[in-house]
Every structure is written in C-alpha cells, then in structure tokens.
Amino acid sequence: MKNSPYRLILASASPRRVDLLRQIGIVPDQICPADIDEMAKAGELPHQLAERLALEKAAAVPASPDHLILAADTVVAVGRRILPKTDQESDALACLTLLSGRSHRVYGGIALRLPGGKILSRLVTTHVKFKRLSPAEIQACLASNEWRGKAGGFAVQGLAGAFVQSINGSYSNIVGLSLCDTMNLLQGVGFGHHH
C-alpha cells in the first residue's frame, strides 16, 4: 500500500476498525482518537447521527498538510430508536431483549478529510435480522463481556454471530467500518493503488 502521496490518520480508537483496515492491507500511519460529544441531538434520526459524528470526528483531529484523516461512526437503530453504546450490563440486556426476533439497522458514517480541509463522506446502511433469543443465549452473551462499549450491545464477530438470521448490506459495516465504501473513498483520492 505504499506509493501514496498521503499519510493516513485513523480518528478512532476502535481495535475493530484497525483490524478491518488491516484485513484489506491498510495500516494507518497514526491513530488519533477524536474526542467529541457523541450524544444525539433532539429529534435527530439514527442515520443523521452516524453521518454527523463521523464528520465531527474527522474535523476534530489536528491536521497537517499531507494527511488524510479517516473517521467513522456506527449507530444501531430499531426504527427511529437509537440504541446506546452499552457500558452497563443492564443496557446490554435491554438492547438484546429488544433486538431478539427483530430486524434492526446498522448505520455507518464514514468521513475522509483531505489535506485542504474538504471532507468526503458516505452513509452505509445494513439491515440485520436476529432470531428469537432464549434467556440462556442472552445470558451467555452478557457473560462474555463482548457487549462492552458496542453499539446495540453486541459484537457480530463474537457470540452474536449465531443470532444473525440474515444480513442485507455490508457485513463489515456491522463490525464497524464498511471496507468496500472505505476503499472506494480512499482510492478516489489516489490513496493506496495496488501495482
């Protein structure tokens, strides 16, 4: 992936996003987590929140001339209801109970800030259907601690992989970053052409 005029900064502390990028041969030159307020505004729809937070994260990192700044945000929603990034087991329990037997959407906002300050963005939507979960399955998921800090209280690449009946859209978007859309954005500005 060398031979690019740009250095890439990832504005995210998420180890999942780092792993996803590594999967397609991209290793950021630097990781600078953006520290922004992630609360939804009154009346803000889930997809608007994902897009706004990605843009704000991209704008929050101090830039230098030859740097591309990649930022992303993932929002899980049932209808208009935004599910929290779960910090407490009670939140994770509430999320999993709500998601059981239901379809939900995962919105991924991706933003790429160019050296001149211009920001390109994409919004990716994935539809996910969970099977009906037994109390034992929910308990196992809670006991695994995989839910900590995850939007919607689950990690699709963990135990919750067994709950997914169907996915319509990007799988990597559910993990935390749509690789196809990210690569399209990066290639569009001349980053990382293969030879």
Q: Is 77 within 8 Å of 18 (Cβ atoms)? A: no
* The amino acid at 37: D
Give the number of residues written for the chain.
Answer: 195
Selecting among 19, 73, 87, 181, the annotated active-site residue is 73
Q: If residue 9 lies in a helix (H) or strand (E), which one and from where to where?
A: strand 7-10
The token pair that represents 126 in the structure block: 């994935």
Q: If residue 20 lies in a helix (H) or strand (E), which one and from where to where?
A: helix 15-23
Any catalytic annotation for residue 37?
no
Q: Is 182 helix (H, G, I), strand (E, B) or coil?
A: helix
The Cα–Cα gap between 43 and 64 comes to 35
Closest CA to 176 of 53, 56, 90, 36: 53
Residues annotated as part of the active site = 73
